[in-house]
Amino acid sequence: MIQIDEANNLVIKDGKRYDIGSPEAFKIISDVWIRSGWDTKYVYSFAWMGRPVIQLPEDMIRIQEVIFDIKPDVIIETGIAHGGSLIFYASLCKAIEKGKIVGVDIEIRPHNREAIESHFLSPYISMIEGSSIDADIVSQVGKHVKENDTVLVLLDSNHSYEHVLNELKMYSNFVSIGSYIVATDGIMEYVVGAPRSAPDWATNNPKKAAEDFVQENPDFIIVEPKFPFNEGQISERVTYWPSAYIKRIK
């Protein structure tokens, strides 16, 4: 049981106490909140400029700062769903007056395609339907990338270990030095046993794929982006994307 005692301490079931204003207490509360949010489908309650975006808000705030810093010419995202993240990234491109979005999905449902294509930000967006690890689809994506473009890649389609590892191998070729390929939703490792999870998620997940990819590819490292502002005590993100930021260093 977790509670706050009369001395303003966070009390957990083994009797340990942490000041409620400490980073340790924040971490405990955040871990419980993340798990509860998974069970209650909290991330299925947000939209960006009219389109559902199934992401933790903190992850979106963090990635926008990365995009503002890198100012990519091309943002590639595998996985479209309702298109909210495409619209989010397109709005950033419009704001910084640079960039375009290439979205890939194995199935773009007609009502989602229509909504995305009729959105006022659609001129920034190209969509490609097909498996993200099909060589022909990857080739089509490549036609949107010019020599010397700054490219950021986000992987948010099939989150199995094998699929993400294949995406990392295929799409990392597009990533420019100093930019990232982001393997989202490594939270799967931490919610095994929860609703909508599977027992093999302990290893069958994007985080494991990212870790194995960098072991075999010395041009890349897993590293947290340096965010420009923090006057608080918390240094770790509250995230669905642990170990997600894979940076190309050479």
What are the helix (H) ranges across the chain?
A: 23-40, 57-70, 84-96, 110-117, 135-142, 161-171, 206-216
List Cβ neighbours of 17 (8 Å cut-off, separation of 6 or more).
Answer: 5, 7, 9, 10, 11
pLDDT digits (tens, 9 = 90+) for 22-73: 999 999 999 999 999 999 999 999 999 999 999 999 999 999 999 999 999 9
Q: What pLDDT is stored for residue 13 in this prediction?
A: 74
Q: What is the pLDDT of residues 186-230, one digit of tens each?
A: 999 999 999 999 999 999 999 999 999 999 999 999 999 999 999
Q: pTM for this one?
A: 0.96
* DSSP secondary structure letters along 121-171: TGGGEEEEES-TT-HHHHHHHHTT--TT--EEEEE-S--SHHHHHHHHHHH
Which value, in Å, is the radius of gyration of the alpha carbons in the chain? 19
Domains of the chain, start order: 1-40 (no CATH), 49-248 (3.40.50.150)
Residue 1 has pLDDT above 80, yes or no: no
Contacts of 49 (CB under 8 A, 6+ apart): 87, 88, 91, 119, 121
The span from the CA of 8 to the CA of 22, in Å, is 11
CA distance 215 to 168: 12
**Average pLDDT of the chain?**
97
pLDDT, one tens digit per residue, over 6-29 is 898 988 878 889 999 999 999 999
At 123-180, the pLDDT tens digits run 999 999 999 999 999 999 999 999 999 999 999 999 999 999 999 999 999 999 999 9
Rounded-to-integer distance, Cα 225 and Cα 179, Å: 10
